[in-house]
Structure 1
Amino acid sequence: MKKGSSPGPTPARAVVLGSTSRYRRELLGRLGIAFQVAAPEVDEAALPGEGPAALASRLGLAKAQAVAERFPGAVVIGSDQVADLDGEALGKPGDHANAVAQLSRMRGRSVLFHTALSVVCRETGFQQQDVAVVRVRFRDLSDAEIESYLRREQPYDCAGSAKSEGLGIALLDAIESDDPTALVGLPLIRTCRMLRAAGVPLL
């Protein structure tokens, strides 16, 4: 650098989404920032006695940390969602029969969806995490409505077997949340807040 010259702008850090979820990838894409995707490869099994909120929080951080080990200079986003029916964790159904069982249990009831978010940068030591809690009240669905919905949308990769951003909205009476996209899989208000704190410009 020449004497008396000022240093140039610090280059922006890479952003990595530690998730293979197409829903999270689409949501993060709404922010208009460049990012890459990496699979976190984390065991998602609950620990003995671990509740839904604690499970989501632990996995969200574990995913971010696992990917940050491979991308130490990047700002890494990790997230996890667990549906909570009276303290019991409900994960992704995986198939039609499990989805029928989940929706049959949830009809006419309120279910909490814990969507955990962690943002980590190993190089700077930055780490923040939070959990967005969404209360979802399901209608008193008939067996025929459940069957019709599942055949049409096949939401077998969604925690709780319902896609609120699609036809699943017809299953619900109400959604209560302070972060509108949290139910889809990534709370963008919290994501923006943490990315700004990590030094990632958004606007």
Structure 2
Amino acid sequence: MQTPLPIILASSSPRRRELLQAIGMPFTVMTSDVDEETSPGLSPAEIVESLALRKARAVAGKEKEGLVLGADTIVVLDGRVLGKPKDEEDAFRTLQALQGREHTVYSGVALVDAATGREEVAHCSTLVRIRPLAEREIRAYIATGEPMDKAGSYAIQGLGATIVEGIEGDYFTVVGLPLHLTAALLSRFGVHLL
């Protein structure tokens, strides 16, 4: 696939890299390392859009050309944002709260043209149901290490798939990069995947 601009992924996430590779998107990676604190009172949609845009802008500001792709994902339960766990006990508390219930995953996607500064940003949300879990199961899952760098302390594309009872919405939103939304935003910059 030829793209009119080089694509730069502003993320260190191996999952986002794998998703772009799976759809044949040529890209390079440049991590953004931005502060991910947000103002209080923002909606989940505003949080993921602002963070995705902040990441893309940070990388675009260092480049002369290219289309910079930023993304952010959060897990929301009862109006509370559940980020990445600080430690194993934090992961346990998160999974204990999620088990047997539904929560919503939000993923924001932003594109910034480094040469012109033009920006596009949007988000998707997906409802996820985690099956009831015994304390032993939660501890065993945490012992694998998989939950430790994931929003909500689980990875739907890994062993965490065994605790997900169902989803309503887009699977890739839960993984961390809604591909249909990414393709739609890319098309606004003349990059067409099909």
TM value normalised by structure 1: 0.88
Indicate which of 73, 77, 80 corresponds to 1:81: 73
Alignment correspondent of 2:124 = 132
Q: CA deviation at 1:125?
A: 4.5
**What letter corresponds to residue 194 of structure 1 in structure 2?**
L
Root mean square deviation, CA, Å: 1.8
Alignment correspondent of 2:148 = 156
Alignment correspondent of 1:5 = none
Indicate which of 44, 50, 58 corresponds to 2:42: 50
Alpha carbons 2:183, 2:192 under 8 Å: kept: no
Structure 1 stretches lacking a partner, 5+ long:
1-9
Distance 1:141 1:15, change over 3 A: same
State the SS of the aligned residue for 1:141: coil
**What letter corresponds to residue 104 of structure 2 in structure 1?**
L
Indicate which of 14, 26, 35 corresponds to 1:34: 26
**What letter corresponds to residue 173 of structure 2 in structure 1?**
A
Please say if 1:141 is aligned against 2:133: yes
Structure 2 stretches lacking a partner, 5+ long:
none
Output aligned runs, 1:183-194, within 5 Å.
183-194=174-185
Alignment correspondent of 1:16 = 8
TM value normalised by structure 2: 0.92
Indicate which of 166, 169, 172 corresponds to 1:181: 172
Q: Distance in 1 between matches of 2:151 and 2:126?
A: 13
Alpha carbons 1:96, 1:154 under 8 Å: kept: no
Alignment correspondent of 1:97 = 89
Q: Distance in 2 between matches of 1:102 and 1:47?
A: 22
Q: Distance in 2 between matches of 1:15 and 1:152?
A: 34
Indicate which of 47, 63, 68 corresponds to 2:60: 68
Distance 1:176 1:72, change over 3 A: farther
**What letter corresponds to residue 187 of structure 2 in structure 1?**
R
State the SS of the aligned residue for 1:70: coil
Q: Distance in 2 between matches of 1:180 and 1:100?
A: 24
Alpha carbons 1:153, 1:167 under 8 Å: kept: no
**What letter corresponds to residue 10 of structure 2 in structure 1?**
G
Number of residue pairs matched by the alignment: 193
State the identity %.
37
Q: Distance in 1 between matches of 2:193 and 2:43?
A: 34
